Amino acid sequence: MIKARTAKFQIGQVVRHRIFSFRGVIFDIDPEFNNTEEWWLSIPEEVRPQKDQPFYHLLAENAESEYVAYVSEQNLMPDDSGEPIRHSQVAEIFIKDKAGGYRPRNPSLN
């Protein structure tokens, strides 16, 4: 029997990468790695994450651009800056609440 792991982060949470300079809001979670082997092997071996952990889909941004990122749990940490996410797709997926957090626009999709 496979032991299911509970995700540390949740949809709508703002996180930042531990190594690289980007942050984003989580819009989906895979309980374990669910991307191509080619993608996984493209990560340098010294920083390549284990596959048996949650992976998160982020509407991500850095100083230069906005994009979608796929990141392992071990490489994320909470972003407590309070700064809004500027990614152009945030409003399509989330509603910003009064506290500055992000709630899914259509919770039944997740």
Write out pLDDT tens, residues 91-100.
Answer: 999 999 888 8
Q: What's the CA angle centered on 14, arms 108 and 16, to 5 degrees?
A: 135
Q: What is the pLDDT of residues 22-75, one digit of tens each?
A: 999 999 999 999 999 999 999 989 889 999 999 999 999 999 999 999 999 999
